């Protein structure tokens, strides 16, 4: 079981590193920190698509995340 714990920790660490890397790439693109002479790779485009958008309505505790290309259904209810 010790080997499984070590492997599990390694996988969690790798996942966090990849998640942080993707978030940093998107943030750098938004801030204009990437030279305009750089070509966008498929991985860059996938990172942007996965970053998507977060939406909050009247119930701001319930945030809805949508990737680019996904539809957000809006229903007008609840307030007069």
Helix (H, G, I), strand (E, B) or coil at 11: helix
pTM: predicted TM-score of the whole model, two decimal places:
0.41
What residue segments make up the domains of the chain, in order of their start? 2-51
Tens-place pLDDT, residues 27-38: 777 787 777 776
Angle, vertex CA 48, rays to CA 53 and CA 51, nearest 5: 35
Average pLDDT of span 52-61? 80
Angle, vertex CA 14, rays to CA 9 and CA 15, nearest 5: 100
Q: What are phi and psi of 42, to 5 degrees?
A: -60, -40
């Amino acid at each position: 079981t010790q080997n499984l714990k070590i492997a599990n920790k390694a996988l969690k660490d790798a996942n966090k590193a990849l998640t942080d890397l993707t978030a940093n790439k998107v943030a750098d693109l938004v801030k204009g920190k990437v030279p305009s002479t750089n070509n966008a790779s498929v991985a860059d485009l996938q990172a942007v698509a996965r970053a998507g958008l977060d939406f909050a309505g009247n119930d701001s505790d319930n945030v809805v995340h949508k990737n680019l290309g996904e539809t957000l259904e809006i229903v007008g209810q609840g307030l007069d």
